[in-house]
Amino acid sequence: MDQQVRTFGRQVFGTQSIQNAVLRNTYWLLALSLIPTMIGAVIGTNLDLSFMRTSPMVSIIAIMAIFYGWIFAIERNRESSLGVVLLLGFTGFMGLLLGPLFQHILGFSNGAQLIMMAAGGTAVSFFGLAAFATNAKRDLSNTGKFLMVGGIVIMLAVVANIFLQSPVLQLVVVGAFVIFSTMMIAFQLNQIVRGGETNYVSATLTLYVSIYNLFTSLLQLLGIFGGNRD
């Protein structure tokens, strides 16, 4: 009996150690990923990307193809250092895509302030969700299917609004992204803590996309309701 107890204790300790390592590496890689994102954002803000608005459908299809293709490549190489390199390249690309949004927001007299507010709101939300997910006694894995369906519905709404160009639907989509992204962050962190996610590259990728969507959604909302043209 004593031997069984000691064996069980070692297994629990080993599992906990792995979970802590995944969480720690995820946080480090997530912080590192912000560097190419900021570099990409600076470059994108100073580029003329107006050609994307001339053929929005073609631009969206091209961006989505690159987006999902890059994600596929990262996941295929998540067990190697190449996965980390691909992830950092991906975050640089995502930073570049912030250019048109930043250009629009900086057109407001308080644009820089709005960007800082969105960044601050994203940071506060992330740390709050991290504390909740780390200390939550409830396993959130049963929300995975709900989040998958929700993600599909939101993406369909995004595609539909390319044709409809409805300000109301755009506002609904942006609000839905805020809710969806916060739920995804809590879900992914909870999965890491409970051992459901054991690869820090995959974990970082999911968290990064959720944080990115949360930031851009908050920034759009701030631009809509708080943008000042004076």
Report d(CA 78, CA 202) in Å as an integer.
7
pLDDT higher than threshold 80 for residue 109: yes
State both tokens at 123: 């940071």
- Residue 24, helix vs strand vs coil: helix
The confidence score (pLDDT) of residue 15 equals: 60
Dist CA 193 CA 19 (whole Å): 6
In the predicted model, is pLDDT for residue 2 greater than 70? no
Q: Kindly report, residue by residue over 128-162, the tens digit of the pLDDT.
A: 999 888 787 777 778 888 899 999 999 899 888 87
Q: What would the two tokens of residue 64 be?
A: 């989505």
CA 118/CA 25 separation, integer angstroms: 26
Return d(Cα 186, Cα 177) in angstroms, integer.
14
pLDDT of residue 11: 44
**Segments forming the whole domain that contains residue 192:** 2-226
Q: Which residue's structure tokens are 């912000």?
A: 34
pLDDT at 9 over 50: no
First to last CA, the chain: 76
How many distinct structural domains can be found in the chain? 1
CA dist 21 → 181, 199, 201, 208 (Å): 24, 10, 12, 18
